[in-house]
Amino acid sequence: SQTIHQWPATLVQPVGSPLSLECTVEGTSNPNLYWYRQAAGRGLQLLFYSVGIGQISSEVPQNLSASRPQDRQFILSSKKLLLSDSGFYLCAWNHEGEVEAFFGQGTRLTVV
Amino acid sequence: QKEVEQDPGPLSVPEGAIVSLNCTYSNSAFQYFMWYRQYSRKGPELLMYTYSSGNKEDGRFTAQVDKSSKYISLFIRDSQPSDSATYLCAIDSFSGGYNKLIFGAGTRLAVHP
């Protein structure tokens, strides 16, 4: 069966520090991969999506970047965190043409 | 105008009540309408989805879409404390080979014994 792993679960980082969140998918190949951010009282905002290795599309301009070095690995990064980067970050996957997306357990990032 | 609007609540109901959760959307071209459930500190999970207009029932849950008014609803019958969660409506905008899920803000539901 397919599983999605996301870590860490919780992270507290100072302003100006770098960020690296990792997401891996097991039990499937060539997934579409997504990074979402969820702020309190707001829906999930799509940040990045990837349809293949090295293929990244950004939905909104921001202080973050994403990379996909392997088929089932998706990384969210920042060189210098801002206070406004705080939030709940979720990785998700599905296959092309499928409606349902499967989410990881999320990383709660607090920038202090 | 947001593509999907959802009242964030919170909504508090007694056990056994019928719960009605609602969203509106702006783009009449949307075809797939989903409801995700998210427990505290967890990722969302798909509860059910409907295609185009009509109703879909799954146990105590009924999803309803009214495309003429761009209105989607989720009804929970005989609500249980275990239903306490945040419910997010989502629209599937399929383009460019991927499914871009557009989510509402989520409604936090608390069912108390």
Mean predicted confidence (pLDDT) in A32-44? 86
- Total domains in the fold of chain B: 1
Q: Is the pLDDT of residue B34 over 90?
A: yes
How far CA A96 is from CA of A31, A106, B45, B101, in Å, comes to 7, 22, 18, 13
Q: Is the pLDDT of residue B1 over 70?
A: no
pLDDT at A100: 86
Tally the residues of chain B. Answer: 113
B58 touches B48 (CB < 8 A) = yes
* Beta-carbon separation of B99 and A98 below 8 A: yes
How far CA A40 is from CA of B19, B27, B40, B47, in Å, comes to 23, 25, 12, 21
pLDDT at B54: 83
| Among chain A residues, CA nearest to B33 | A99
User: Which helix (H) or strand (E) segment is B17 a member of?
Assistant: none
pLDDT at B62: 97
Q: Is B58 on the interface with A (CB under 8 A)?
A: no
**Domains of chain A, start order:** 3-111 (2.60.40.10)
Q: Is B66 on the interface with A (CB under 8 A)?
A: no
Q: Residues B44, A67, B104, CA angle at the centre, nearest 5°?
A: 30
CATH of the domain at B102: 2.60.40.10
Residue B63, strand partner residues: B56, B74
Residue A34, strand partner residues: A49, A92
* Beta-carbon separation of B98 and A44 below 8 A: no
Mean predicted confidence (pLDDT) in B22-37? 90
Average pLDDT, chain B: 90
Domain that holds residue B103: 4-112
* Beta-carbon separation of B98 and A96 below 8 A: yes
Q: How confident is the model at residue A52 (pLDDT cuts 50, 70, 90)?
A: very high
* Beta-carbon separation of A43 and B32 below 8 A: no
How far CA B81 is from CA of A61, B14, B58, B113, in Å, comes to 40, 9, 18, 6
| Among chain B residues, CA nearest to A5 | B43
- pLDDT tens digit sequence for A60-82: 877 899 999 999 999 999 999 99
Q: Which residue has the higher pLDDT, B96 or B89?
A: B89
Mean predicted confidence (pLDDT) in B13-21? 97
